[in-house]
Amino acid sequence: MRAHTELDAMQGLRRTHSAREIVPELIGREVVLTGWVHRRRDHGGVIFVDLRDRGEIVQVVFKPELSPETHARAGDLRSEYVILVRGEVRRRSEDTINPKMATGEVEVDVLELRILNRATPPPFPIEDEIEADEATRLRHRIHDLRRGPLQRALTLRHNLYQSVRRTLTRNEFLEIETPFLGKSTPEGARDFLVPSRLHHGEFYALPQSPQVMKQLLMIAGFDRYFQIARCFRDEDQRADRQLEFTQIDLEMSFTDVEEVLGILEEITVRGSADAAGVELTAPFRRLSYADAMARYGSDKPDTRVLLELVDVTDAFRESEFRAFRANVDAGGIVKCLPIHDAAELGRGAIDRLEKFVKKELGAKGLAWIRVNDDGSWQSPIVKFFSESEKAAIAAATELRPGSLVFFQADTAPRANGILSRLREDLGRQLGRVEDRPWDVLFVVDFPLFEPDDEGRLTYVHQPFVAPVEEDIPLLDSEPERVRGTHYDVVLNGVELGSGSLRNHRSDVQRKIFEIMGYSKEESEARFGFLLNALDSGAPPHGGFAFGYDRWVMLLAGLDSLRDVIAFPKTQRGQDLLLDAPTPVGPEQLSELGITLPPAETEP
């Protein structure tokens, strides 16, 4: 005979309302609530329990005069017990109303209590603010997910999904799934490889993005596609990266840059408003890549920070100051960050900044000049400058008493990267930030190619970006001058996503592969299916991919992607809840034709 359980007792008694629905309009009504014991308090015989379900809380009250048996059972309740209560909604007395709670005007007098499950003590309080370290939170992710910030973030994530789907469906996009198991293609990061059991020694690759597949859909005639796509990149982890992540992926046929940007504005504005009440104004401001790098040192600048960089390379082309001149002769740049009225940055602060840029950012050093109140220049390097060099620096940076200038002489990417970080850090530290909560813009007019560490040309974003039409002849003569049809959406200094028009002509695509160093045989081996598809009659097409997790993170006001993903990985790529990755047995490896080298033993 089956043992009686509390779930048996639920037959015929079902939840009637959620916690957030317990409002003054229900006063006098009988309700049935379910959830977790958030907090229990015993006040002289009357027991108060905060009942929590999906991030909302309502107070339920156990009074001995209403039901002695129920009141007695309530004495056994502990944190995170799962319960069902039946009771009547009452108005709280004036002195006990809690304006901080959405349900703070009412409470439920409990007539019946059922304990559906007991719980071990949680590893940390289920509160908005806790002191648990991230490893503990991830190891006990079930408890962490019960906390308000994560409940709200994942609810926002859901609402944003729905808004994006509505907007794209209204614009006649079709939602189409693409495969997880595909072909390894170079897209900028290492692929996750999946061994084939049926074809030993051969591998599928998990998609870094659905890039090639969505192009094939355009060639197949679907005209407008979108997908909430899971993507995988085997790259080192940071606060804004995960091994697996989500993209809002879209593609359009017979389009141009202006039409794509119009769709992106609509998605971004509507999604931010629907999911988080964030009002963004369209049309978005546009900033060229060249302007962004020149003024901010970054292709994803937060332009609310009012400091800007200045290039002074030309002042040192004939300089006697070897540290700067040698870098210019080697093809590098000399760039600076001027900060006016910088008295609060004393010598100790400058020394700390120099240690930071060397240790954390890989800088060779941090040269600086301060202009004293009497107009004189103070700096270890100023004695090396000629009068013409000093005049050029003063004119370019608009120096005045109280100004402080930081210099970097290095390759353009390194100099820009270091000064860009200082610009944002010091801008916020000194309060040089424009008073507006949201800064959204398009960055456009990217170059198609950039040199790699060995000086060879490689793609800036991915190898399928179409050149600007008028620059196509330059592919044969001056490829480094070719502009791409690429565009980014940047929100508060974070790249929400990127896109471009794609190559719809196979001859242009083949030429780009050639410039990147692929032989004809390599191009056919890696991309023959795409090149053949382009030859079958490919329409002009282009699209975009939103970094969905980043978008949610910004709208939720959080600092880490791990706080907007239900089950994230650590910075070392581990899932501490599921204890993954883990070894597998020799039988599974044998089926896949995989042999592992013997484990190294310590001497």
Structure tokens at 419: 């000064």
Tokens read off for 306: 């009012």
Confidence category of residue 1, pLDDT binned at 50, 70, 90? very low
Strand (E) or helix (H) holding 174? strand 174-175
Question: In this model, does residue 5 exceed pLDDT 60?
Answer: no
| DSSP assignment string, 450-477 | EE-TTS-EEESS-TTBPBPGGGTTHHHH
pLDDT, position 603: 55
**pLDDT for res 235:** 82
Per-residue model confidence (pLDDT) at position 42: 92
- List pLDDT tens digits, range 522-531: 999 889 999 9
**pLDDT tens string 281-290:** 999 999 999 9
Average pLDDT over residues 353-369: 94
Q: Domains of the chain: which residue ranges? A: 6-117, 305-433
**What value does the mean pLDDT of the chain take?**
93
7 pLDDT more than 90 = no
Among 143-157, 161-175, 225-239, 534-548, the least confident range: 225-239
Q: What per-residue confidence (pLDDT) applies to 3?
A: 43
| Mean pLDDT value across residues 348-368 | 94
Higher pLDDT residue, 596 or 276?
A: 276
Q: How open is the CA angle 381-382-385, to the nearest 5 degrees?
A: 105
Instruction: Select the CATH number that applies to the domain covering 305-433 from these four: 3.40.50.10860, 2.60.120.260, 3.30.1360.30, 3.90.950.20.
Output: 3.30.1360.30
Q: How far is CA 521 from CA 104, 254, 524, 528, 533, in A?
A: 71, 31, 5, 9, 17
3 state DSSP class of 518: coil
CA-to-CA distance for 523 and 521, rounded, in angstroms? 5
My answer on whether omega of the bond before 598 falls inside 30° of 0, hence cis, is no
CATH of domain 6-117: 2.40.50.140
SS3 state of residue 488: strand
Residue 202 is given by DSSP the state: -
Q: Is 543 helix (H, G, I), strand (E, B) or coil?
A: strand
Tell me, what's the pLDDT at 461?
84
pLDDT tens for each residue of 410-426:
999 999 999 999 999 99
Confidence of residue 184 (pLDDT cuts 50, 70, 90): confident
Contacts of 486 (CB under 8 A, 6+ apart): 444, 446, 448, 460, 461, 465, 498, 499, 500
Q: Are 84 and 13 in contact (CB under 8 A)?
A: yes
Residue 501, phi then psi, degrees to nearest 5: -75, 155
| CA 416 – CA 393 distance, rounded (Å) | 18
Instruction: For 90-135, write each residue's pLDDT tens digit.
Output: 999 999 999 988 899 999 999 999 999 999 999 999 999 999 999 9
Using the predicted structure, report yes or no on whether residue 188 has a pLDDT greater than 70: no
pLDDT (average), residues 446-461: 85
Average pLDDT over residues 258-284: 97
Is pLDDT at 236 greater than 80 in this prediction?
no
Tell me the pLDDT tens digit for each residue of 61-80.
999 999 999 999 999 999 99
Which band of pLDDT confidence, cut at 50, 70 and 90, is reported for residue 502?
A: very high
- Which tokens is 66 given? 């209403």
- Tell me, what's the pLDDT at 458? 85
